[in-house]
Structure 1
Amino acid sequence: MGKVECFSLPNLNLIFYSNDHLPAHFHVIGSKWEIKVYIETTTRSSLHYSIKWSRLRRKTPSAKSLRAIAAKVCDHRLQLLEEWERKVLCEL
């Protein structure tokens, strides 16, 4: 497991899991949920993600969090892909 290094967001853990699968993605863990964020298909207007788990039924990240994550992914896409290759792909 490796922490995302190219950016951070308050109160969220951003990680890559070793030996994870394609497509390139990272995990964002909040206090009551975890999502997978897909690096190559996220745009500023649409965060491409899936919910991995949620403690409360229908508990998902806030719209504000989703916008912040999408903006950071777009701003740091190249660095995220480089980290993915270094921390995940080399383990496959």
Structure 2
Amino acid sequence: MADLTPEVINAMVRLTSNPDQLDQLDADQLFAVLAIAKSGRETLHEVTVRLNARGFTFAQIGERVGAHESTVSRWAKPRVANAVEDAEEA
């Protein structure tokens, strides 16, 4: 996993608002951002599960991050379960 240096964290934040700012990063920092982004689905799952375990409903989590309750519920499911659902919907 990439090092979460302040530069990499700032780059991830900048990516959400202005991807062009990533041009200011060197190659190592860009690879770190890529590694973090690649693990994003697993991170969504882990954070959602932990928030839910602390008593937050999927609706409450979704409201705080601007996502629908059903989306948050999907984040909480293990990745294999999501892959099976995606295949069934296709």
TM-score when normalising by structure 1: 0.34
Higher RCO structure (Cα 8 Å, ≥6 apart) = 1
TM-score when normalising by structure 2: 0.35
Structure number with bigger Rg: 2
